[in-house]
Structure formats: C-alpha cells, structure tokens
Structure 1
Amino acid sequence: MAEQAFLLKGFLQGNDAALITALKDITTQSVFRHMITPGGYEMSVAMTNCGARGWVTDRRGYRYDALDPLSNASWPAMPALFKQLAEAAARQTGFPHFTPDACLINRYAPGAKLSLHQDRDEQDFSQPIVSFSLGLPATFDFGGLDRKSPVTPWLLEHGDVVVWGGESRLFYHGIRPLKKGSHSLPGNCRINLPFRRAY
C-alpha cells in the first residue's frame, strides 16, 4: 500500500466465526455507543473496546482510559485469539515485536464513515497499527503525512487485515460511507478491529 504499509487479503479466513463469537461476549459487557468528539459531534461509527486500555472521546478530548466511562469498570479482557492473530499479522509484515494492549471495536452501519485522521494518541509511534475487517466491504482511503496528501482507495473485504507502521505510521486514513448489504456473520454491518500499543 505504501512504505511499511500492507494489505493482507483474507488473513482472517478460518478464524472469522470465532472472532465474531468472542465479539458478542465483549459487547455484552461493554456495549456499543456513539461517542462524542471534543467539538460536540456524535460519531456515526458505534464503538467499544477490549484490552487493558480503551480509546475514548468526549468533550475533554481523545485519549486512552483503563475504565469504560459508561460502567466505570475495566474494559473486557482482550481474547487470546485477537492478540495471536494481530501479532501474527504484524510479524508477517516486518513488525516482530508488536504486542497490542488496546483493541478498539468499530461497528459501521450503512452510511457510517470515518473522516481522514491520524492515529496519534499512542505513546510509541514505533509500534504499528493492525486493523481487522469483518462483514460488509468498505473503501479505505490511505493518504500521507498531510491531510491534503493524495489518497489511494483500497477495497477491504471480510477477513482482510491492514498493517501500517514505520514511515507510514502517521499517514492519514479513513473509511468512505458504508454501502448497504448483508453478511452471513455480522449481518448488515462492518466490524473493524484496530489493534494498537497505547502504552
């Protein structure tokens, strides 16, 4: 995709059903919610987290927090399968020391999108981002270090994994509005699991 940025087509095939089952357990403990940006806008993507830290946004800003603000309890533990697959994808793409401590869980309904942004709330930018795609296909825009850099659209389908780090770690990226459809596992939505090393 770019220097030190890779698309692994179908990497999750064979593990997809187990991932969806584990997700149901997580989202029973920490439900999906539409978070509010610091500017007061409700995000179209529904989110929750698992792992030692969870990414949150509200009027106070973007950050990682050890507690779910809705329950004031710890986020659900990251399933072993999640961690194993994220680390395997990282190793395959040249990042052998990646160990995630945070997994954001994004649910895209038709029409939901994510504007171009950088992942920069983590403390160590030497660690890559490993992003799983499940369910409906989506168009992933991958740009450069500047918001105005040209973007390249990539089709992300069920079972695909994107890994980016090194020179591409702070590249802008986003998801175009999701088109309507249905999938046999998660149904009429797309599930995205970006794994990060927050601390």
Structure 2
Amino acid sequence: MIIKRERSPLAIILLAVLLVVIACVSLTFGQIDVPVGKALAVIGSQLNLPGFTGADYSREQLAVIWYIRLPRMLVGVLVGAALGISGAVMQGIFSNPLADPGLIGISSGAATGAVLSIALGAASGSMFAMPAFAFCGSICAVCLTVFLAMRNGKIPVMTLLLAGVAVGMLLGAITSGLLTFMNEQKLQQYLFWMVGGLDYRRWEHVYLA
C-alpha cells in the first residue's frame, strides 16, 4: 500500500518566506557589512520602485549589493531550484526518492561536453560556451539512453536505468580520456567547474541561469 503525502500549503508558504528572509540576510553579511535597510534601498532604487527614489546609500554599498552579492544570491537560488526540479523529475520517472539525473547519464554527458569545450579552447572565448557544450552533451546522453532503452515504442523503467548506467560509464571513460590530453591549466579549469562555486557571479550569469 502506497501512502501519498501532500504538502501543506501553509508549509510551502512558510518555506518560501524563509527563503526570502535568508536571501535578504545573506546580502548584509560579508567582508563589508551592509544594513538591511541600505540593502533594500539599493535594490529598490536600482529597480525604480516607488518610494525608493533618492534613497540614501554610499557607492561602496551600491557596488557590494548590486554588482556582487545580489547576482551571486540570485544565481544560487536559481541553480538550487534547477537542481530541485531535475531531481523531482528523476524521482517521478523512477518512483524512487533517491533517484538523480546521474542515473540516465545526464551528469556524465554534461561533464563530457564541458571537458570538450575546455579541450577545444571554446570555454576561454565565451562564458556561454561551456554551459552550451554541457547542455548539448547532456541532451546527447539522454537521446542515446532513450534509444538504447526503447523497445517497440515503449521505454521500460528498468531498461532505461540499465541503459543510463551504461551510457554514464561510457561517457565517464571518454571524459577521462580527454583529461589525459589536457595541460595543467585546462585541468584546473575543469576541476573548478566540477567543484562549482558562486564566486565572481555577475548579472550575465543570472540571465544565463
């Protein structure tokens, strides 16, 4: 017997409010502390919101909030939301709360695409190159997995899982092979991408996310 648990609307509202509060608080702490009122004044004036015209804040506070912390916070929220959605999709497909995108080779495909962009030198030319390569790599991995798993127009879940594991191992081997031909600088670039981080995030990264 499967017991379905429904989320309470009140719990969702409380979590959303908590997210907003934590996001606002994160803008105020750092090497330069900025009061909450000043942070809100910067955001309101930059968005031309009513009541914030002529708000009082320094150039330093404007630079810290609008050009450093706010883009970084928004990227973190958007990336977290994307990870949550992708995990929910995989858990829905496999009816397993432990499922993740790596099961059908998506993560391995993205890694292979990213390594390929670094090896070709495309990643250093544009900030959009590596995400584009990683996205195309993940799409190719999904297409290959579905192609291997499809039987008579249907895709059995267990076959999809096994095909995803095989594709993931294949792409992992390709990634390792590409890494052996890369110099130390490109290896560091790949490792930094794999570890991830929110350092030096700008508004361009927000638009990309």
The interval holding the TM-score normalised by the smaller chain is under 0.3
Q: Considering only CA atoms, is the larger Rg found in Structure 1 or Structure 2?
A: 2
Larger helix proportion of the pair? 2
Greater length-normalized contact order (CA 8 Å, ≥ 6 residues apart):
1
Tell me the TM-score normalized by structure 1: 0.21
